[in-house]
C-alpha cells in the first residue's frame, strides 16, 4: 500500500516523551534561575504574571477561596497544566515530532514573555526561559528519536487498512492488526533501553529543579535576618495587660504570634533583600532627596507601637486581621529631613518587587511607622524584611508596603498605585467591624449558659461598645476586655441562657465616634466589606 514506512510511537512512549521534555525544560530553567534569581524561572514568572494580570474581582475570589494558600495552589495548578500539555504534546506527536515540538516551543515562548513581564532582572532574566525553550524543543525531538528507534515501522494506521510492517519486532507484539490506532511494536530490549533513558532524564530534571530551589533558598536572607538577633526599642510599647484578651474563651491572643499573622501580598517568590544592600530613597516633591541605609534606620531612636492591621479583602467574619508590636521609626522624621513640599498629598511607595501603594500624606505624617521589627524579632521575610510601612487605621493595600525601597512625595492626581486601576479606592480608612470567634461556627455546646466571644476593631478611633443578639432577640451589651490603644482590636464576651436547638448569633460594634457598624452588606471591592457577622451553632 503506502511505500513510506513510518514509525508510530506507542501511546505510553509518546506521553513519556512529551512529559519528560516539559519536565527537563522546567528543571533546567529552575536550576539556572537558582543562580540568576528566583523570579527568572519561567515557571515562577508565569505564576507571577497570572497574579499581575488577575483583576480585582478575580483576586477577591482567589483570596476568599484560598486565603493565603492561593500561591501554592496557583503553582500546583500551573504544574498540572504543564503535565497535561506534556501529555498532549506527546500524543500529538506519535508519528512526527513536529506538532509536539511546536506546542512545547509555544510554551517556551509563553515563559519568555512572562519572564520579560515580571523578572525585573534585565537581559539575564530571560536566560532561564530561553534555556527552557531550547531544552524543551531540543529534548523533545531527541527523546522522540530515541523513542522511535526500537519501534517497528508501520506502513500506516489501521484505519487506512494496512497491517504493521512485519519487521523484527512484530513477533513480540502481534496484536498490532486491530484497534483504531495501531501502535508500533517494541522489543523488550528496546523497551528497557528507552525507559532507562527516560528514567535518567526524569531523575536529572527533578535533581536540576531541586538544586535550583535549594540555590534560591541558600542565597536567601534567613541567615542575615537571624544574625540581627532581637531588636529592642528605645521606647517600648506599654505592656499588654493580662485581661486584654479572652483567648481562654476562644478569641485570638491579643498579640498575634509572627507565625500566625495573616499574610497578603502579590509575591510568588519572597524578595530577599540583604540589609547591606537595602536602600530607601525619598524623592519627588521634597526639598532634599534623601537615601537611607538599614543602619541609618536601626541606629535611630526606635519606638514600639501596638497596631492591629487589617486587609481590605477581609470578608465579614474573615481572618485577615492581626496585631503585633511593631518597632521602627516614625516616617515623619525622615520626611521632615527631606522636607515635603506643600501640595504633595500622596506618599507613593514602591517595594523591591515593584508593588506600589499610595498613602495620604497627612496620615503618613501623623502616624505611619517605618518598621524593622515585629514582636521583638526582625521582620519575617514574608512580612517585609528588612523594612516595611505600617499605618494604623488604613487598610494594608494603601499603607503597609513591605520590602519598601522607594518613596515619592507626589499627588493623587499624578499617580495611581497598584490596586487603583484594579478597582480599589484611592483612600480607604478601616471600617468599624466585629467578628464572632466563640462558639465556633456549627459547633455544638451544652444547654444553659453559653459564652459568646470575639473581637472588634475601628482603628484609629477605638471601640466604645459591642452588642450581641441571639435569634433576633434583644441586643445585649457585651463585656469589653482591657483596652490597649485605639489602633488595636478590642476583645469582647457575653453570656446567653440558651435551650436546646439551633441558634444564630450576630454582633455589632460601635466606635468612639458613636458610629455603629452597618448591617448593610457590601463587598470588599472597592473599599472594604460591611455587614454584621453571624454564626450558627447548636445547643444540646
Smallest distance from Mo ion to CB 47, Å: 19
> Between residues 43 and 395, which has the closer beta carbon with respect to ligand MTE?
395
Tell me which residue has cell 515585629. Answer: 374
CA distance 138 to 111: 16
396 near ligand MTE, rule: CB under 6 A: yes
Using CB atoms within 10 A of its CB, is residue 466 exposed (0-12), middle (13-18) or buried (19+)?
buried
Residue 294 interacts with which of Mo ion, ligand MTE, none, CB < 5 to 8 Å by class: none
Stretch that binds ligand MTE, among 228-236, 282-290, 348-356, 515-523 (CB under 6 A): 348-356
Please state the closest distance from residue 264 (CB atom) to ligand MTE, in A: 4
Cell 504570634 sits at which residue?
A: 257
Candidates 139-147, 155-163, 351-359, 439-447; binding stretch for ligand MTE (CB under 6 A): 351-359
Among the listed residues 43, 246, 348, 397, the single contact to ligand MTE using CB under 6 A: 397
Which of 184, 360 has the CB closer to Mo ion?
360
Least Cα distance to 365 among 409, 325, 326 occurs for 409
C-beta neighbour count of 277 within 10 angstroms:
14
- Residue 520 CB-density burial (10 A; 0-12 exposed, 13-18 middle, 19+ buried): exposed
Taking CB under 5 A as the criterion, the residue among 194, 246, 385, 397 binding Mo ion is: 397
Residues 6 or more apart whose CB falls under 8 angstroms from that of 445 comprise: 439, 537, 538, 539, 540
Strand pairing report for 377-378 and 476-477: unpaired
Residue closest to 188 by CA, chosen among 150, 153, 154: 150
Q: Is 457 in the site for ligand MTE (CB under 6 A)?
A: no
CA 504: distance to chain centroid? 34
Contact 368/331 with Cβ under 8 angstroms? yes
Binding mask 308-337 for ligand MTE (x = CB under 6 A): -x-x--------------------------
Name, in order, each residue with C-beta under 8 angstroms of 346's C-beta and a sequence gap of 6 or more: 358, 359, 360, 361, 409, 410, 411, 412, 414, 415
Give the residue with the Cβ less far from Mo ion, 264 or 529: 264
- Please give the size of the binding site for ligand MTE, defined by CB under 6 A: 18
Return the exposure string of 28-41: e unless at least 16 CB atoms fall within 10 Å of the residue's CB, then b: bbbbbbbebbbbbb
Closer to ligand MTE by CB, 246 or 262: give it: 262
Render 130-144 in DSSP notation, one character per residue. HHHHHHHHHHHHHHH
Q: Does residue 265 belong to the site contacting ligand MTE (CB under 6 A)?
A: yes
Stretch that binds ligand MTE, among 76-84, 256-264, 280-288, 338-346 (CB under 6 A): 256-264
Q: Which residues from 368-387 bind ligand MTE, rule CB under 6 A? A: 383
For Mo ion, give the closer residue by CB, 85 or 264: 264
Considering the rule CB under 6 A, would residue 401 count as an interface residue with ligand MTE?
Answer: yes
Q: Choose, by CB under 6 A, the member of 54, 187, 266, 534 that binds ligand MTE.
A: 266
Q: Does 400 bind ligand MTE (CB under 6 A)?
A: yes
Cα-to-chain-centroid distance, residue 478: 36
Q: Is 269 in the site for ligand MTE (CB under 6 A)?
A: no
Question: Contact positions toward Mo ion, by CB under 5 A?
Answer: 264, 311, 396-397
Question: Contact positions toward ligand MTE, by CB under 6 A?
Answer: 261-266, 309, 311, 351, 353, 355, 383, 396-397, 400-403
Amino acid at each position: 500500500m503506502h511505500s513510506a514506512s513510518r514509525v508510530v510511537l506507542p501511546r505510553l512512549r509518546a506521553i513519556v516523551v512529551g512529559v519528560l521534555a516539559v519536565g527537563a525544560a522546567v528543571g533546567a530553567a529552575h536550576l539556572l534561575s537558582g543562580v540568576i534569581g528566583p523570579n527568572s524561572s519561567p515557571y515562577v514568572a508565569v505564576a507571577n504574571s497570572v497574579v499581575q494580570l488577575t483583576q480585582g474581582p478575580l483576586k477577591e475570589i482567589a483570596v476568599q477561596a484560598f486565603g493565603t494558600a492561593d500561591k501554592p495552589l496557583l503553582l500546583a495548578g500551573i504544574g498540572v497544566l504543564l503535565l497535561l500539555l506534556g501529555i498532549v504534546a506527546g500524543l500529538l506527536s506519535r508519528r512526527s515530532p513536529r506538532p509536539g515540538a511546536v506546542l512545547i516551543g509555544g510554551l517556551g515562548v509563553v515563559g519568555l514573555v512572562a519572564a520579560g513581564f515580571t523578572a525585573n532582572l534585565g537581559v539575564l532574566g530571560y536566560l532561564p526561559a530561553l534555556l527552557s525553550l531550547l531544552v524543551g524543543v531540543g529534548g523533545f525531538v531527541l527523546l522522540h528519536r530515541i523513542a522511535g528507534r526500537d519501534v517497528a515501522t508501520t506502513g500506516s494506521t489501521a484505519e487506512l487498512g494496512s497491517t504493521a510492517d512485519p519487521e523484527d519486532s512484530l513477533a513480540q507484539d502481534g496484536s498490532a492488526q486491530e484497534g483504531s490506532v495501531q501502535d508500533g511494536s517494541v522489543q523488550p530490549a528496546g523497551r528497557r533501553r528507552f525507559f532507562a533513558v527516560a528514567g535518567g532524564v526524569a531523575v536529572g530534571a527533578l535533581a536540576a529543579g531541586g538544586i535550583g530551589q535549594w540555590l534560591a533558598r541558600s542565597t536567601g536572607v534567613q541567615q542575615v535576618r537571624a544574625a540581627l538577633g532581637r531588636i529592642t526599642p528605645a521606647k517600648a510599647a506599654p505592656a499588654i495587660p493580662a485581661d486584654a484578651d479572652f483567648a481562654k474563651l476562644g478569641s485570638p491572643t491579643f498579640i498575634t504570634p509572627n507565625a500566625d499573622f495573616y499574610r497578603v501580598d502579590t509575591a510568588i517568590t519572597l524578595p530577599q533583600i540583604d540589609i547591606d544592600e537595602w536602600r530607601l530613597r525619598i524623592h519627588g516633591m521634597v526639598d532634599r532627596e534623601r537615601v537611607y541605609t538599614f543602619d541609618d534606620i536601626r541606629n535611630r531612636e526606635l519606638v514600639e507601637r501596638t497596631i492591629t492591621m487589617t486587609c481590605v479583602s477581609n470578608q465579614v467574619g474573615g481572618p485577615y486581621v492581626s496585631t503585633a508590636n511593631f518597632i521602627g521609626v516614625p516616617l515623619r522624621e525622615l520626611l521632615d529631613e527631606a522636607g515635603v513640599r506643600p501640595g504633595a498629598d500622596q506618599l507613593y511607595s514602591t517595594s523591591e518587587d515593584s508593588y506600589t501603594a499610595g498613602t495620604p500624606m497627612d496620615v503618613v505624617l501623623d502616624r505611619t511607622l517605618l518598621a524593622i521589627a515585629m514582636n521583638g524579632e526582625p521582620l519575617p521575610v514574608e512580612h517585609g524584611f528588612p523594612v516595611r510601612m505600617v499605618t494604623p487605621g488604613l487598610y494594608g493595600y494603601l499603607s503597609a508596603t513591605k520590602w519598601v525601597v522607594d518613596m515619592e512625595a507626589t499627588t493623587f492626581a499624578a499617580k495611581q498605585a497598584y490596586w487603583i486601576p484594579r478597582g480599589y479606592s484611592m483612600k480607604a480608612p478601616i471600617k468599624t467591624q466585629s467578628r464572632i470567634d466563640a462558639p465556633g461556627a456549627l459547633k455544638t455546646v451544652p444547654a444553659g449558659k453559653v459564652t459568646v466571644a470575639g473581637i472588634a476593631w475601628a482603628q484609629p478611633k477605638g471601640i466604645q461598645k459591642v452588642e450581641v443578639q441571639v435569634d433576633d432577640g434583644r441586643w445585649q451589651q457585651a463585656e469589653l476586655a482591657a483596652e490597649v490603644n485605639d489602633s488595636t482590636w478590642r476583645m469582647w464576651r457575653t453570656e446567653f441562657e440558651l435551650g436546646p436547638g439551633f441558634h444564630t448569633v450576630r454582633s455589632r460594634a460601635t466606635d468612639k465616634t458613636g458610629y455603629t457598624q452597618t448591617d448593610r452588606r457590601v463587598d470588599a471591592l472597592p473599599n472594604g466589606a460591611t455587614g454584621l457577622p453571624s454564626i450558627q451553632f447548636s445547643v444540646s
